[in-house]
Amino acid sequence: MRETVKSSALLHWYDRNARVLPWRVAPADRLAGVRPDPYHVWLSEIMLQQTTVVTVKSYFLRFLQRWPTIGDLAAAKDANVMAEWAGLGYYARARNLLKCARVVNETHAGMFPTAEKELLKLPGIGPYTAAAIGAIAFDRPTTVLDGNVERVMARLHRVSDPLPGAKETLREHAARLTPEKRSGDYAQAVMDLGATVCTPRNPVCGFCPWREGCLGHKEGDAQSFPRKTPKKTKPIRFGVAYVVIRQDGAVLLERRPDKGLLGGMLGWPGSDWAETPVEPCPPADVNWQELGEEVRHTFTHFHLRLTVRVAQTTDQTPLNSGVFLERNNFRPADLPTVMRKVWSLAQSAIEAD
Ligand code: SF4
């Protein structure tokens, strides 16, 4: 099948309209021979999985300031990296980030491999990320297919099969368009087109370099693509979180197991999160005050409703679980978002008391 649009038209558009992003080398600089640092490309791509550009910018800059090279990151303490990642969500990414930095540092002398199949062997790097690093960092003509690219391809060709089933068709279209030269700029150009012009709700086709060949635009129904299989409604899970404050202000926390949701992150002791309310073993046998309001948080696969119980204790109170952290060392920003919500609810209840 012949493509109805050309990569050269998109590259021409990108040269004038590329977004300025802290991890990106501008097209004019790339054309002048400046290469992006693979460490920056990899770090940004891992952070951008399931997360918006706006959110990632400040995290990316903070990480680079603290760990300017992959060697610095590989030598970092796990707890510091998890704390710096707090709030970005999908915490398995942070654990794999560290594993990957250490493998690249120890096995590849701190240099990312350039071939997609070698990149795929690294922790936390799946097909999308391997393709993106291959293209952006090393100018390889890989096929990069993220949500933006899928949307653009589905509209260009009016692909009527719904996602996720249509992925392979969309990948074939994307592969046919990928040029041998300037592959890195091209990969970023399609992403930019999807993010700024061919947007989910209101594509601004008047500014699109591909509008002449776009079937969705021609038929006037671009916005209805990509078609999607209706999502199942998310189940609700219930749990209990305990906030214990010692008389000197120290707070009781526990590190969650490495495997599973929020793995390796600090959190409040509490129950498992189950589809029916559970009565857990509390971290101390004291008088608990149950707050009238609950914490609500939505994860990818379920909504969570957390009952919050608070108590004040002395340093003589025997504990069933958890470890006290001195108040000076406690930074709510080190907690994942759901745990921060628990803290702010508990704090306002304690202050109101
Ligand atoms: Fe998207 Fe419109 Fe461009 Fe088609 S013409 S790719 S629908 S922005």
- DSSP collapsed to 3 states, 220-274: CCHHHCCCECCCCCCCEEEEEEEEEEECCCCEEEEECCCCCCCCCCEECCECCCE
Tell me the C-alpha distance between 58 and 348, whole Å: 28
For residue 201, report the distance from its CA to the centre of ligand 1, in Å: 12
User: In 122-250, which ranges are E strands?
Assistant: 236-246
Domains (range + CATH), the chain: 7-224 (1.10.340.30), 236-352 (3.90.79.10)
Residue 136 alpha carbon to ligand 1 centre in Å: 23
Looking at residue 104, what is its pLDDT?
A: 97
Enumerate the β-bridge partners of residue 298.
303
**Cα–ligand 1 centroid distance for 213 (angstroms):** 9
Nearest CA to ligand 1 atom 1: 198
Provide the 10 A C-beta neighbour count for residue 258.
12
Report residues of the chain scoring pLDDT below 70: 1-2, 352-353
Kindly give the distance from the C-alpha atom of residue 205 to the centroid of ligand 1, in angstroms, as a whole number: 5
> Closest Cα to atom 5, ligand 1: which residue?
211
For a pocket test of ligand 1, which of 155, 199, 202 has the largest count of ligand atoms closer than 8 A to its C-beta?
155
pLDDT at residue 259 in the model: 84
Q: Which atom of ligand 1 is nearest to the CA of 197?
A: 8
212 as an active site residue: the answer is no
197/203 Cα distance (integer angstroms): 6
What pLDDT shows up at residue 2? 63
Q: Tell me the C-alpha distance between 320 and 141, whole Å.
A: 56
Residue 178 Cα to ligand 1 midpoint, Å, equals 17
- What CA–CA distances, in Å, run from 234 to 272, 276, 292, 298, 301? 18, 14, 25, 9, 6
The preferred substitution site among 190, 204, 208 for testing ligand 1, maximizing ligand atoms within 8 Å of CB, is: 208
Tell me, what's the pLDDT at 200?
Answer: 95
Please tell me the predicted confidence (pLDDT) of residue 89.
87
Among the residues of 18-146, which ranges form H helices?
27-31, 38-48, 53-66, 70-74, 78-85, 92-107, 116-119, 127-138
Q: Ligand 1: which of 149, 153, 158, 197 to mutate, most ligand atoms within 8 Å of CB?
A: 197
Per DSSP, 328 falls in state G
Atom of ligand 1 nearest to the CA of 204: 8
Q: Residue 222 CA: which ligand 1 atom is closest?
A: 7
CA of 155 to the centre of ligand 1 (A): 6
* Contact by Cβ (8 Å): 318, 285: yes
Tell me what pLDDT residue 250 has. Answer: 94
Instruction: State which ligand 1 atom lies nearest to the alpha carbon of 215.
Output: 4
Which is the closest atom of ligand 1 to the Cα of 207?
8
Q: Which of 205, 207, 212, 221 to mutate to test the pocket of ligand 1 (most atoms within 8 A of CB)?
A: 205
Q: Atom 4 in ligand 1: which residue has the minimum CA distance?
A: 214
Which residues, judged by CB distance below 6 Å to any ligand atom, belong to the binding site of ligand 1?
A: 152, 155-156, 197-198, 203, 205, 208, 210-211, 214, 216-217, 222
- Whether the CB-CB separation of 184 and 23 falls below 8 Å is answered with no
Question: For position 77, what pLDDT does the model report?
Answer: 96
Tell me the pTM: 0.81
Cα 211 to averaged position of ligand 1 atoms, centre (Å): 6
